[in-house]
Amino acid sequence: MKRVLKIAATLAVLALGLVAYTAAMARVGSGTAPAMAPEAAQADEILVDKSARRMDLLRNGEAIASYTISLGAAPEGHKAREGDERTPTGSYVIDWRNPNSIAHLSLHISYPNADDRARAEAAGHSPGGDIMIHGIANGWGWIGGLHRAWDWTNGCIAVTDAEMREIWSLVPDGTPITISE
């Protein structure tokens, strides 16, 4: 019995340590954001294929970069309400960016649009918001591509920190994004 209690106590201390580490790193932020790429190198469209877990940055209809992504923890179907952990589908715009995000940098997707709000309101729910393209939670970037082993966000699109730095520099505000099943 003493051994079980000792193991439980050790696990509790580890869990608290992980929570404290994550909270501290969330406050640290992402560091200095990269500069924007020259306009001629920037994307003018983003396509996300949820079923393929793929995001492509396009310029004049040609892919300039492709990424394997993680989605919301309940990725199938369109986001219907706050807290459903779904990544929305539809046409949106990158409308602002956060260099001090709790995840490594973030680009905001303009969800919810008028149709999303109307559907959620008709169902008696809040549509939610704060759907972003972002890197790994600050302090956890060392896991790199391992994050792709499961869908873990609250409805966002996640990439590695290095990929997020590249995306940040290639995607200006106002870039249209289409997310399909």
Spell out the domains of the chain, with CATH numbers in brackets: 2-180 (2.40.440.10)
Candidates 111, 78, 122; CA nearest to 177 is: 111
Kind and range of the H or E run holding 54: strand 54-59
What span, in angstroms and rounded, lies between the C-alpha atoms of 181 and 174?
22
Q: Which amino acid is at 39?
A: E
**β-strand partners of 57:** 46, 65
Examine the pLDDT at 13 and tell me if it is beyond 60: no
- Span of 6-10, 28-32, 43-47, 176-180 with lowest mean pLDDT: 6-10
- Mean pLDDT estimate for the chain: 89
Examine the pLDDT at 81 and tell me if it is beyond 70: yes
> Residue 12 — pLDDT band, cuts 50, 70, 90?
low
pLDDT confidence of residue 2: 78
What is the percent of the chain where pLDDT is above 90? 77
What span, in angstroms and rounded, lies between the C-alpha atoms of 164 and 135?
5
Question: Which pTM value belongs to this model?
Answer: 0.86
Contact 137, 103 (CB under 8 A): yes
**Radius of gyration of the chain from Cα atoms?**
18
Summarised one tens digit per residue, pLDDT across range 111-163 is: 999 999 999 999 999 999 999 999 999 888 899 999 999 999 999 999 999 99
Candidates 118, 107, 96, 82; CA nearest to 30 is: 107
First to last CA, the chain: 51
- Segment 32-51 mean pLDDT: 97
